[in-house]
Amino acid sequence: MIKKTDTMTRDAYLDLLARQEGEKKRKRRTEHTESDLQRQCVSWFRMQYPTDALMLFAVPNGGGRSVVEAGILKAEGVTAGVADLLLLEARGGWGCLAIEMKTKKKGSKQRPSQKAWQEAAERAGNRYEVVRSFEEFRSIAADYMNLPAGIGRRVVLKGADAVCFTSDWRKTPPEKKGRYNVKLEYDTYEADWDGARWMDTTTGFPLCGVVGWRKIDTN
């Protein structure tokens, strides 16, 4: 808090107070930039897709909490790193769309816990995006909602092949385009590799979370 000194004129003192208040307001605006962006995005989506409005919701992981309250919430299932917004719509082979809100300001980047959650979400077959502007959100949301509804085919196998890798399973992407057997956790598919992503041969949807592949046995 600025204090008036004996040598300071009244006008100079008032000018310093005004500048201090302006600095506080700028700081508050910076702190709420992500919040403002998120509210704008949610408002647009719910007006644009009214029948799907309830499927887009926030995950309130932020905010100050006491140690006791934080412990209770953690026991209830609150998880560090979860994306800011979840869109529970299965589209284009993905289970849902997870969106992490950031800004274009320097230092606005994912924390380690957020990167870890992104990795887990994508491995489970979900799409994850980091959004830094309203235009970016609108483009991503429209692109996702225009994809065909539904998720990729899953065939659960039993036996040793469904539990562990054998020596002929590989993890690095194939050098050649073509059709292969691919493994997602405990599920196995036939999929086409187009040089950039795996596509389910039955549905034509992209397969997310592929952890290994091998040549199709033609015998």
Roughly what angle, to the nearest 10 degrees, separates helices 33-48 and 10-31? Answer: 50
Token pair 């469904």 in the structure block, residue: 162
Shared domain for 141 and 182, answered yes or no, is: no
Residues 94 and 193 in one domain: no
Residue 118 domain flag: yes
Instruction: Tell me if 191 sits within 8 A of 180, measured CB to CB.
Output: yes
Query: Do 139 and 53 belong to one domain?
Result: yes
Residue 114 shares a structural domain with residue 164: no
Closest CA to 101 of 54, 26, 29, 36: 36
The residue among 145, 170, 192 that closes a domain is: 145
Q: Are residues 202 and 133 in the same domain?
A: no
Q: Are residues 139 and 39 in the same domain?
A: yes
What's the pLDDT tens digit per position in 163-200?
333 445 677 778 889 898 887 765 777 888 888 788 88
Termini Cα distance of the chain? 81
- Are 200 and 112 found together in one domain? no
Cβ within 8 Å of residue 193, ≥6 positions away: 173, 174, 176, 177, 178, 179, 180, 199, 213
Task: Give the residue from 110, 145, 180 where a domain finishes.
Answer: 145
Residue 166 domain flag: yes
Q: Which of 145, 174, 197 is a domain's end point?
A: 145
Average pLDDT over residues 213-218: 76
Task: Say if residue 8's pLDDT is above 90.
Answer: no
Measured in degrees and rounded to the nearest 5, phi and psi for residue 214 equal: -155, 165
pLDDT of residue 147: 85
Q: Cβ(110)–Cβ(80) under 8 Å?
A: no
Torsion, Cα 200 206 208 214, to 10 degrees, reads 40
pLDDT tens for each residue of 22-54: 666 555 554 458 888 999 999 999 999 999 999
Residue 168 shares a structural domain with residue 140: no
- Judge contact between 4 and 13, C-beta under 8 A: yes
The reply to whether 209 and 134 lie within a common domain is no
Q: Is 12 within the bounds of a domain?
A: no
User: Looking at the structure, do residues 70 and 94 belong to the same domain, yes or no?
Assistant: yes
Residues 6+ apart with CB under 8 A from 154: 184, 187, 189
3-state secondary structure of 29: helix
Mean pLDDT over 125-145 rounds to 93
Residues 164 and 135 in one domain: no
User: Is there a contact between 132 and 84 (Cβ–Cβ < 8 Å)?
Assistant: no
Does a structural domain hold residue 98? yes
Domain harbouring 97, CATH code = 3.40.1350.10
Q: Give 153's pLDDT tier (boundaries 50, 70, 90).
A: very low
Phi, psi (rounded to 5 degrees) for 55: -85, -15
Q: How many domains does the chain have?
A: 2
Residue 13 has pLDDT above 80, yes or no: no
Quick check: is 9 in a domain? no
Domain that holds residue 174: 160-215
Q: Are 192 and 182 in contact (CB under 8 A)?
A: no
Residue 84 forms part of a structural domain: yes
Q: Is 96 exposed, middle or buried (0-12, 13-18, 19+ CB in 10 A)?
A: buried
Indicate if 139 and 169 belong to the same structural domain.
no
Residue 175 lies inside a defined structural domain of this protein: yes
Do the Cβ atoms of 203 and 151 come closer than 8 Å?
no
Within a domain: residue 26?
Answer: no
CA–CA distance, 20 with 7 (Å, rounded to integer): 19
